[in-house]
Amino acid sequence: MDRPVIRKDLAELAVRPNLEDYDEGCADFDWTEARRALAGLPGGGVNIAHEAVDRHADGPLADHEALRFVRADGSVRALTYAQLSREAGRFASVLRGLGIRRGERVYSLLGRRPELYAAVLGTLKHGAVFCPLFSAFGPEPVRQRMEIGSGRVLVTTRALYRKKVAPIRDALPELRHVLLVDGSGATDAAAEPGTLDLVTLLAEASDYGPTAATGPEDMALLHFTSGTTGRPKGAVHVHDAVTAHYATGRFALDLHPEDVYWCTADPGWVTGTSYGIIAPLVHGVTAIVDEEEMDADRWYRILAEQRVTVWYTAPTALRMLMKAGTERIAGYDLSALRFVASVGEPLNPEVVMWGQEAFGLPVHDNWWQTETGGIMISNYPAMDIRPGSMGRPLPGIEAGVLARDDAGAPVVRDGEAVLCEPDATGELALRPGWPSMFRGYLHEEERYRKCFAGGWYLTGDLARRDADGYFWFVGRGDDVIKSSGHLIGPFEVESCLLEHEAVAEAAVIGIPDEVAGEVVKAFVELKPGHEASDALRLELIGFTRKRLGPAVAPRLLDFAPALPKTRSGKILRRLLKARELGLPEGDTSTLEAGR
């Protein structure tokens, strides 16, 4: 298949100040070298909070804006690195005062509020382990995840506590302290039995305190995966992960202190921590925090008014902006924007090209997982983009596509997994050993062990690698469709549907069929101004048949008002399939409301 390429003019890029130090290929890179770029703790060891704020607070960036919160009315409140460091210090002092020990787990159930950032950094400074939850979780998903991690402290709001935690409090004997960020004074908070008022505690706490002398392998973060496939998995990350946040922030996002950077990820998801907090702060940028939910006009206004230079978002958000129409951008000055990146789901080529039209910039896809802790494969800033490709592995990362046997397991010979030929589909795998790699699923050793075979970490995703080393996403292992001997990746079919002017979003699943094994069924959400009809159904099927051939094109197609998605914005194909086949829906705790 002929694939378009968006060429980058390196000569032109080189004159842009923020790409000056960009070294394509980064051939000399090694992780030891990257560690040297970090400060390290004065007495030895490494602590994420020290790298992210404390060292800046003692240096030339002390008065530089670290976080800029944008409120609903568009007004802003900023915290400098020095102020953020003091806030984090106060939170660490609160934990000390409460007798929380190193390694114990502090959870958050919070939106993007200033207290969240103090809590993450203060927890790490104290040497405790931070675990964010989606604030939209109901009581049971909260209970399950708090139980797995033996949460000692929970930081939340009064309303969320009442609705989601109070009903399950008795089932969490290890939860000692609930800290409310919106208690308006000790007396008032006392009205909520069993909670403490964080505002009062912070006001009374010292903003100065020791940073725990954590080592690189000490546990720092516990992140639950998105739950696209079911049962929650708690991925354990250590303080050395900051080395990867630093390197990927540089190579994949091109961050510099003069950048105004905006990551739109929910703070309950790994992206919210790795790239919403740690990577940008380590690089000394000014990070925008939008306290509100997604809305096309609001987002354009923030990009324009805050002069955002680097924007990190997700395919689902970009598709929503596409649906809203390019004309919505008119009137917003987005000239400060120099780099747009996306993560979380496959990025359809159509969306990359739309970025080029809408922003004058392509969207740079990058691939990673909760387990990898940081970006692994990316369309680097200075490399030619192949729309629809995830890009190439970052410096220090070795990725491969492993051949699979009939049962879908990697083929291993003499202890070493066999790699596929170029352009053949296999399981995407990574050589273990990068700093942000998860060190386990908490309390699930067997599940962790099963992620490795023949010298590789198995990602569970299927991909192809072309002869030039670009990786192409095919589908999640469990979403791939087998039809008449063909292996069909939902992404290819969905991307084709998206090329049709009527289609806003599409999801594709396999339906059992006596003859073919499975046939492809598509679910389509239409753009405004288009009506569902039998004629349009036939037209869309014909459209994909012409482009993909009858073996791959959907046989069946339904219109859906909204596709089911996780809170991190991923289409839940397994749920569509369960509903279609009348099977139990399984774990839907991360399902967005109303889907």
How many C-beta atoms surround the C-beta of residue 424 within 10 A? Answer: 11
Partner touching 51 among ligand ATP, Mg ion, none, CB below 5 to 8 Å by kind: none
Among 578, 429, 401, which Cα is nearest to 507's?
578
Partner touching 248 among ligand ATP, Mg ion, none, CB below 5 to 8 Å by kind: none
**367 contacts ligand ATP (rule: CB under 6 A):** yes
The pair of structure tokens assigned to 526 is 């239409």
**Near ligand ATP by CB under 6 A, which window of 34-42, 221-229, 287-295, 442-450?**
221-229
**459 contacts ligand ATP (rule: CB under 6 A):** yes
Q: Which residue is nearest to Mg ion (CB)?
A: 225
Contact with ligand ATP (CB under 6 A) among 473, 526, 565, 589: 473
**211 contacts ligand ATP (rule: CB under 6 A):** no
Judged on CB neighbours under 10 Å (0-12, 13-18, 19+), 542 is exposed
**345 contacts ligand ATP (rule: CB under 6 A):** yes
Through-space distance between the first and last CA atoms of the chain, rounded to whole angstroms: 35
Contact with ligand ATP (CB under 6 A) among 19, 94, 110, 390: 390
Q: Choose between 225 and 273: whose C-beta lies nearer to Mg ion.
A: 225
DSSP alpha helix (H) spans, 389-489: 445-449
Q: How far is CA 536 from CA 216, 524, 525, 552, 557, in A?
A: 57, 11, 12, 19, 10
Site track for ligand ATP across 91-130, x = CB under 6 A: ----------------------------------------
Q: Choose between 106 and 351: whose C-beta lies nearer to ligand ATP.
A: 351
Instruction: Say whether 70 sits in a helix, a strand or coil.
Output: strand
**483 contacts ligand ATP (rule: CB under 6 A):** no
Q: Choose between 495 and 568: whose C-beta lies nearer to ligand ATP.
A: 568
Beta bridge partners of 513: 517
Among 448, 463, 496, 347, which Cα is nearest to 6's?
347
Q: How many residues touch Mg ion (CB under 5 A)?
A: 1
**570 contacts ligand ATP (rule: CB under 6 A):** yes
Contact with ligand ATP (CB under 6 A) among 218, 365, 427, 525: 365
Q: Choose between 231 and 482: whose C-beta lies nearer to Mg ion.
A: 231
Residue type, 134: F
Q: Choose between 83 and 370: whose C-beta lies nearer to Mg ion.
A: 370
**494 contacts ligand ATP (rule: CB under 6 A):** no
Among 393, 399, 435, 51, which Cα is nearest to 244's?
435
Contact with ligand ATP (CB under 6 A) among 227, 272, 362, 564: 227
Partner touching 380 among ligand ATP, Mg ion, none, CB below 5 to 8 Å by kind: none
**461 contacts ligand ATP (rule: CB under 6 A):** yes
Q: Choose between 152 and 565: whose C-beta lies nearer to Mg ion.
A: 565
**343 contacts ligand ATP (rule: CB under 6 A):** yes
CB of 235 to Mg ion, least distance (A): 9
Instruction: Say whether 390 sits in a helix, a strand or coil.
Output: strand
Q: Choose between 123 and 459: whose C-beta lies nearer to ligand ATP.
A: 459
Partner touching 104 among Mg ion, ligand ATP, none, CB below 5 to 8 Å by kind: none
The pair of structure tokens assigned to 562 is 């909204």
> What number of helices (H) and strands (E) belong to the chain?
20, 28
CB of 371 to ligand ATP, least distance (A): 6
The 8-class DSSP code of residue 40 comes to -
**276 contacts ligand ATP (rule: CB under 6 A):** no
Partner touching 459 among ligand ATP, Mg ion, none, CB below 5 to 8 Å by kind: ligand ATP
**Near ligand ATP by CB under 6 A, which window of 41-49, 160-168, 340-348, 480-488?**
340-348
CB of 308 to ligand ATP, least distance (A): 21
Partner touching 473 among ligand ATP, Mg ion, none, CB below 5 to 8 Å by kind: ligand ATP
**228 contacts ligand ATP (rule: CB under 6 A):** yes
Query: DSSP states of 495-551 as a string?
Result: HHHHTSTTEEEEEEEEEEETTTEEEEEEEEEEPTT----HHHHHHHHHHHHHHH-TT
Q: Choose between 225 and 436: whose C-beta lies nearer to Mg ion.
A: 225
Contact between 356 and 344 under an 8 Å Cβ cutoff? The reply is: no
Q: Can you tell me the distance from the alpha carbon of 331 to that of 363, in angstroms, rounded to the nearest whole number?
A: 21
**344 contacts ligand ATP (rule: CB under 6 A):** yes
Partner touching 367 among ligand ATP, Mg ion, none, CB below 5 to 8 Å by kind: ligand ATP
Handedness of CA 206, 208, 210, 212 (dihedral sign): positive
Q: Choose between 115 and 266: whose C-beta lies nearer to Mg ion.
A: 266
**144 contacts ligand ATP (rule: CB under 6 A):** no
Restricted to residues 210-249, the positions that interact with Mg ion (CB under 5 A) are 225
**83 contacts ligand ATP (rule: CB under 6 A):** no
How many C-beta atoms surround the C-beta of residue 488 within 10 A? Answer: 25
CB of 229 to ligand ATP, least distance (A): 3
How many C-beta atoms surround the C-beta of residue 519 within 10 A? Answer: 18
Q: Can you tell me the distance from the alpha carbon of 124 to that of 103, in angstroms, rounded to the nearest whole number?
A: 9
Q: How many residues touch ligand ATP (CB under 6 A)?
A: 23
Q: Which helix (H) or strand (E) holds 246?
A: helix 241-251
The pair of structure tokens assigned to 393 is 């592995």
What burial letters (b/e) apply to 385-411, b meaning 16+ CB within 10 Å?
bbbbbbbbbbbbbebbbbbbeeeeebe
Q: Choose between 127 and 490: whose C-beta lies nearer to ligand ATP.
A: 490
How many C-beta atoms surround the C-beta of residue 334 within 10 A? Answer: 17
Among 456, 304, 473, 480, which Cα is nearest to 379's?
473
Angle (CA) 23-27-31 rounded to 5° is: 100
**226 contacts ligand ATP (rule: CB under 6 A):** yes
Contact with ligand ATP (CB under 6 A) among 476, 521, 567, 577: 476
Q: Can you tell me the distance from the alpha carbon of 183 to that of 192, in angstroms, rounded to the nearest whole number?
A: 9
Partner touching 461 among Mg ion, ligand ATP, none, CB below 5 to 8 Å by kind: ligand ATP
Partner touching 436 among ligand ATP, Mg ion, none, CB below 5 to 8 Å by kind: none
List residues binding ligand ATP (CB under 6 A). Answer: 225-229, 233, 343-347, 365-367, 369-370, 390, 459, 461, 473, 476, 568, 570
List residues binding Mg ion (CB under 5 A). Answer: 225
